Structure 1
Amino acid sequence: PLPEVLRARDGSYGSNMSEIPKRSAQNDMDADWSKGFCDKIKHMQRFFGFPPSGELTKDTLEVMRKPRCGLSDVEPFGDTVRWTNRILSYRIVGKRLPIPASQVRKVFRDAWKVWSNVTPIKFRKRGRREADIAISFYSGDHQDGTPFDGKQGILAHAFLPGIGIGGDVHFDAEEDWSTNSTGYNLFTVAVHEFGHAIGLAHSPDPGAVMYPVYNFEPNNTLELSFRDVNDVQHLYGKILNIQILNSPVRHSLV
């Protein structure tokens, strides 16, 4: 049988073990399924810097059990997935918010500013009108093909830039969200997911905002790593205003 961490998530590694081939209906552990499973485990191990054994080692299982983003680490996004316009609109959809609406609005405004401080894109909040990016809190299966798994596990996911659901960001409403060091810090996760919404993939650098595993540090500021900045500027270019570039977003995390 599969280890508990896999069975609990219906074969999904970070909501993405769906990348692992489905078991054969004729033989639960046939050779093709086993090979595909091992290959995907190896890809994951390489991403996190583990020896690519294809086996569920202690280190492998440990990283699989950690709270994280629901997007894939295995499949690259490519460097052409980006918005063509430089002024993007967003709106907060629904009334099911885990903290007061005024705090949610501030968290999201500051999270967008982290990215607009290093690359020439701007983000405008809209009310009821349609927007490029819709931000929502959902529970369980919310009809987008990537259901949430309850407390812990997958915290949120986002979609690549594009029409329709493209660029949208979904947070798991079952999590204990907060604006400080209790529960899961909404600002920290929002900065990460907004990175996906503008086209960034996961980074294997544990110090990067785009690292897939939740890695909260209760400091006074959240800073992008060199790789985060380089990746987003590769998509949208560099910002020329040095005053903005050297001004970190002052968002308290404690």
Structure 2
Amino acid sequence: MKTLIRSVTLIITALIFPHSWANDQENIALSYLKRFGYSSCNDTPASTVKCSESFNEMLRDLQRYFGLNITGVLDAPTRSIINTPRCSMVDKPNPSLIHRLATTKWPRLSLTYRLDSYAHHTEITQAKQIEIIQEAFNEWSKHTPLKFKMVCDTCSADIVMQFVEGDHGDGHPFDEKTLAHAFPPNDGRIHFDLDDTWTESFDSPSNNEINLFLLAVHEIGHALGLEHTRNGESIMYPTYRLKKRSEVLAAVDQTEIQALYDSKTVQETFGSAKYIGETKNSVRHGYGQLVFENGNKYKGEWKNNQRDGYGVQINTDGKKYSGEWKNHLRNGHGACTWANGNKYVGEWKNDTLNGRGVHTWANGDKYDGEWKDGKRNGYGIQINVDGGKYSGEWKNHLRNGRGVFTWVNGNQYEGGWKNDKQDGYGIYRFPSGKTKKKLYLKKHEVKRQLPKRKCEHLTEKETLKEKHE
């Protein structure tokens, strides 16, 4: 009902006050971007330059996350995403939260839950709601050793579920576009918006009815330690979308939850490595887990004895990769984290960073741009924790070509670069409005160099050894 009322209000406003409507839409979009993690200005502490990102840059980040055309403008597809009902939790946690969530799980496999309140009984009976919630927990226990038990209303429970409304005191008030939210282990709170219209139907013709089972599976995923994912097939996708009852947990969901809590399968041995999972013609094929002789662990999809499809690899040295594989190598989109806190999210080719991606270092430095053979190549933006920012061309991990460097005091240089140094014709711009043109006949190094960062990955020896396990 609340979604229908809001839609009618927006239509009337747009017809009567078109200019006011456009401004309102931008304000709504900006609030959305900040609320769900698309603005680094929400991080603390943040320098003036680091927080000078434009509305268009944030829109591009949102469009990239949801697989839209990256226009940087508030076009119809982008407005559609912003106005789609969704979970209240952020899509892109800040680095400190990412590090905490990466190690967050329940310390035991037997968990209890209780329902403190229910949706309106005119929509779904209380007995049916209890049944739906139990089925939602069962979806996760099908693929893990986790066991869930419902306890009485006054009993202590690990996970507590409630139907509440508006500002209910947890810092995540419900509004017209948010449906539910949950807190990671060991908090255990799951809240659904009482003002929404809940249904048990998987083929409801109404856009205003929300399937309780699908939302419950999603929020339980958060309560077990999972984050949002940009994979549209995943139940952990941020926005609400109908799915078939038989296809609720995609391979990516099974892989992620088993990376935290292991799996329910039979063990087989392949050489010196231990494999648990599916086979075909006596080779690894389908879904499974392999523990290498050196202790590294892979959980995910296999094809003809090779890692192929979506999978998660966790190494004994703390490295973790979650994403796509092809021919036993990282190929496609994936996220890599290291024990030192560094993280890369983007495209891979033959086990190296290749294509568009974002690398964030543990100290807060961040590069967003193009990569080739594991190095910054092409156009990219690097923002340092001290406030320095470079936007421009890169080659072989160094600034080469045209680019703009902005210092924390607002001074700016725009011009040529070669091997990380100013080269050729350039213009200095100052906060006062003054400009200064300069020709560099010799390479001149800027005062604050960007760090020559490298993204760690598996060593050649380690990779070759794994290929033959």
Specify if TM > 0.5: yes
Shift in Å at residue 111 of structure 1?
0.2
- Answer whether contact 1:73 1:212 (CA < 8 A) is retained: yes
* Larger relative strand fraction: 2
Aligned equivalent of 1:186: 212
Equivalent position to 1:142, from 133, 144, 168: 168
- Answer whether contact 1:20 1:40 (CA < 8 A) is retained: no
Amino acid at match of 1:91: R
Equivalent position to 1:157, from 160, 170, 181: 181
Q: 1:203-237 CA deviation, whole Å, 9 max, x = no partner?
A: 211111111111113x3424311111110011111
**RCO higher in structure (CA 8 A, sep ≥6):** 1
**What is the SS of the residue equivalent to 2:161?**
strand
Shift in Å at residue 241 of structure 1?
6.6
Shift in Å at residue 126 of structure 1?
1.0
Aligned equivalent of 1:100: 125
Moved more, 5-14 or 119-128: 5-14
Aligned equivalent of 2:260: 235
Matched, 1:64 2:87: no
Aligned equivalent of 1:44: 62
TM-score normalized by the length of structure 1: 0.79
Q: 1:137-170 CA deviation, whole Å, 9 max, x = no partner?
A: 01100000010014xx1111111112xxx12110
Shift in Å at residue 95 of structure 1?
5.2
Q: 1:58-100 CA deviation, whole Å, 9 max, x = no partner?
A: 2222111111111111117442111111111111013554521
Paired residues for 1:73-92 under 5 Å: 73-75=91-93, 77=98, 78-92=101-115
Q: 1:60 to 1:34 in 2, by over 3 A?
A: farther
Aligned equivalent of 1:167: 188
User: How many equivalent residue pairs?
Assistant: 231
**What is the SS of the residue equivalent to 1:169?**
strand
Q: Which runs of 5+ in 2 are unaligned?
A: 1-19, 43-47, 268-276, 279-469
Cα-Cα RMSD:
3.0
Q: 1:10 to 1:157 in 2, by over 3 A?
A: farther
- Share of identical aligned residues, percent? 31
Equivalent position to 2:198, from 165, 172, 177: 177
Equivalent position to 2:141, from 90, 97, 116: 116
Q: Which runs of 5+ in 1 are unaligned?
A: 23-29, 247-254
Aligned equivalent of 2:326: none
**Aligned mates of 1:31, 1:57 — CA distance in 2:** 27
Larger radius of gyration: 2
**What is the SS of the residue equivalent to 2:179?**
strand
**Aligned mates of 2:66, 2:217 — CA distance in 1:** 21
Amino acid at match of 1:167: G
Equivalent position to 2:159, from 133, 144, 151: 133
- Answer whether contact 1:14 1:71 (CA < 8 A) is retained: no
Moved more, 194-203 or 179-188: 179-188
* Larger relative helix fraction: 1
Q: 1:186 to 1:20 in 2, by over 3 A?
A: farther
- Answer whether contact 1:89 1:131 (CA < 8 A) is retained: yes
Q: 1:40 to 1:86 in 2, by over 3 A?
A: farther
Q: 1:220 to 1:45 in 2, by over 3 A?
A: closer
Aligned equivalent of 1:11: 31
**Aligned mates of 1:14, 1:136 — CA distance in 2:** 26
Moved more, 232-241 or 54-63: 54-63
**What is the SS of the residue equivalent to 1:35?**
coil
- Answer whether contact 1:66 1:214 (CA < 8 A) is retained: yes
